Amino acid sequence: MYLENNDNCPDDEILQNDMVSILVKCFDSENLEIKKEVTNALGIFANGTEKQANMVIQYNAIPHFLDLLSSDKEELQRAAILAFMGIMGHGPKFRDYCIKTGLVEPLINLVEDSESSIDVLYDCAVMMYYICQEGNPIVPHETVVKILPALKTLIELKSDNEKSE
């Protein structure tokens, strides 16, 4: 499969555009497994080049990723977080775009949800690292202020786990 190795992705822009738009249309399905696999595929694709990340953004996958963050299914939450990391890994411009689309609130909600698994919390911690990563421009101050309580929760959770061991 092309998406498993971005070095082998076809350069034909028409093929890539059609593929991304078809994948995004799959979010209309009620089948949660399809949504998870589409999110995984788009996340891997977005992790390739800046051009590929821009295609995922251009075809409006972000609102679907945001919806999946609010899902009660761990697999969907984790797939969405990883897809966001694939996009944000391309630098501050992509990070800021994801923040502006509303990424921070559902991420905080996952951390504050007592039902979130340790794997989801770990992914949230990594995502917060991506958000706070150094870059030019630096992450907006108000974003850091919003996520500080969630970071504190994660730190205290780790401390509680260490004490119980």
Looking up residue 142, the CATH number of its domain turns out to be 1.25.10.10
Task: Supply the range of the domain harboring residue 76.
Answer: 2-164
Quick check: 165 pLDDT over 50? Answer: no
Q: What is the pTM of this model?
A: 0.85
Residues 6+ apart with CB under 8 A from 55: 16, 17, 20, 45, 46
Write a three-state SS string for 106-126.
HHHHHHHCCCCCHHHHHHHHH
Question: How many domains are contained in the chain?
Answer: 1
Dump pLDDT digits (tens) for 88-113.
999 999 999 999 999 999 999 999 99
**What is the pLDDT at residue 2?**
38
